[in-house]
């Protein structure tokens, strides 16, 4: 039986606090004081944080929230890595058989860590995710749907929090239908700017994505766990003329107003720019989705009334 959760509208945001010179790949993580500084910036505007992995970063975030008495709820995820090759991925996605076998062990351990933290911080962690974008056709960390179902069931058997899986909206309309029957609620990602939509088309496209999934699963709760607008691009996948702070502010305000008026829990992507992401190019779009810059100063969206 699925666990029902009352998702009234709350201000929600995806948070990853890696600063310049830090990254999960290097193993250099933000300090306690750096995360505390971030949460002081975010408190007051945001009630719900989404964390992507149960690594040292998330452990420190949870510790800071508890120790400092911050009033945040958390969706905690386990970042599962490739268990099968994906030849459709343009930037990787193909691994040795030895690596794929090892990744299964890594994933199981990450799921176990997720369960441990969920039970350690039940007053802070209010929902759980069994992975992120691991089934969409372009992913570099493909995991079979039946394995994701196994991970969801394992988490549900050990935790009281509702469990989801965070994925682009499109797979939910096809290959993820068996998973939709197992999760407690469905989590979708929608990025109009990645799909070459202008700001004039953006909000209608977001709503189209959302309601396509809602209408396919009328008995399921659907939330948006990623939606946002970049502020720079080198032209890789996004036209540079289609991203800047003004356009981000327009989409952000429209997204918040629609989410609020329709009671849709929507996690804005993301809190801070992260220079470790993507290629080495300065204008790589993956680096520029934050509502705040890497130096923690607010972009235009966070300077307007919303």
Predicted pLDDT of residue 1: 58
* 219 in a structural domain: yes
What pLDDT does residue 86 have?
A: 98
Consecutive H or E run containing 73: strand 73-77
Does residue 89 form part of some domain?
A: no
pLDDT tens sequence across 152-180: 999 999 999 999 999 999 999 999 999 99
Q: Is the pLDDT of residue 145 over 90?
A: yes
Q: Is 296 contained in some domain?
A: yes
User: In this structure, is residue 220 part of a structural domain?
Assistant: yes
Q: What is the total count of domains within the chain? A: 1
Residue 44 pLDDT grade (very low, low, confident, very high; cuts 50, 70, 90): very high
pLDDT at residue number 7:
67
Residue 71 lies in a domain: yes
Report the chain's mean pLDDT, rounded to a whole number. Answer: 96
CATH number at residue 270: 3.20.20.80
CA distance 136 to 175: 9
d(CA 236, CA 277): 14
- Residue 53 inside a domain? The answer is yes
Give the tokens for residue 155. 């988490």
Report residue 273's pLDDT band, with 50, 70 and 90 as the boundaries.
Answer: very high
Q: How confident is the model at residue 206 (pLDDT cuts 50, 70, 90)?
A: very high
Q: What is the pLDDT of residues 57-91, one digit of tens each?
A: 999 999 999 999 999 999 999 999 999 999 999 99
Looking at the domain assignment, is residue 58 inside a domain? yes
Cα–Cα distance for residue pair 192/190, rounded to 1 Å: 6
Residue 236: domain span: 11-79+123-136+143-303
Task: Give the pLDDT confidence score for residue 10 in this predicted structure.
Answer: 86
Question: Could you tell me if residue 93 is inside a domain?
Answer: no
Q: What is the mean pLDDT of residues 197-209?
A: 98
Question: What average pLDDT score do residues 282-299 get?
Answer: 98
pTM above 0.85, yes or no: yes
Per-residue pLDDT at 5 exceeds 90: no
- pLDDT band of residue 9 (cuts 50, 70, 90) is confident
DSSP class of residue 224 equals E
Angstrom CA distances, 176 to 25, 62, 127, 145, 182, stand at 29, 31, 20, 7, 10
């Amino acid at each position: 039986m699925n666990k029902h959760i009352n998702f009234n509208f709350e201000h929600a945001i995806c948070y990853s606090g890696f600063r310049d010179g830090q990254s999960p790949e290097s193993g250099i993580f933000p300090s306690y004081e750096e995360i505390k500084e971030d949460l002081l910036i975010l408190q007051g505007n945001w009630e719900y944080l989404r964390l992507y992995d149960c690594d040292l970063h998330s452990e420190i975030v949870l510790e800071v929230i508890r120790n400092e008495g911050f009033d945040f709820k958390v969706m905690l995820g386990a970042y599962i890595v490739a268990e099968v090759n994906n030849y459709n991925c343009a930037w990787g996605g193909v691994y040795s058989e030895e690596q794929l076998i090892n990744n299964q062990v890594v994933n199981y351990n990450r799921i176990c860590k997720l369960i441990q933290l969920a039970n350690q911080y039940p007053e802070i962690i209010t929902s759980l995710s069994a992975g992120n974008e691991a089934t969409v056709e372009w992913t570099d960390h493909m995991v079979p749907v039946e394995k994701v179902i196994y991970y969801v069931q394992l988490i549900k058997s050990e935790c009281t929090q509702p469990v989801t899986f965070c994925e682009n909206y499109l797979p939910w309309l096809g290959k993820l239908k068996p998973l939709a029957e197992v999760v407690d609620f469905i989590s979708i990602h929608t990025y109009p700017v990645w799909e070459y939509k202008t700001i004039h088309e953006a909000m209608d496209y977001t709503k189209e994505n959302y309601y396509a999934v809602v209408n396919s699963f009328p008995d399921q709760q659907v939330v948006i766990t990623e939606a946002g607008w970049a502020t720079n691009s080198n032209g890789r996948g996004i036209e540079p003329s289609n991203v800047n702070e003004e356009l981000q502010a327009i989409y952000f305000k429209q997204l918040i107003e629609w989410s609020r008026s329709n009671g849709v829990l929507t996690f804005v992507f993301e809190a801070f720019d992260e220079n470790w992401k993507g290629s080495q190019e300065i204008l790589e779009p993956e680096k520029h989705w934050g509502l705040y810059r890497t130096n923690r100063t607010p972009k235009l969206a966070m300077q307007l009334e919303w």
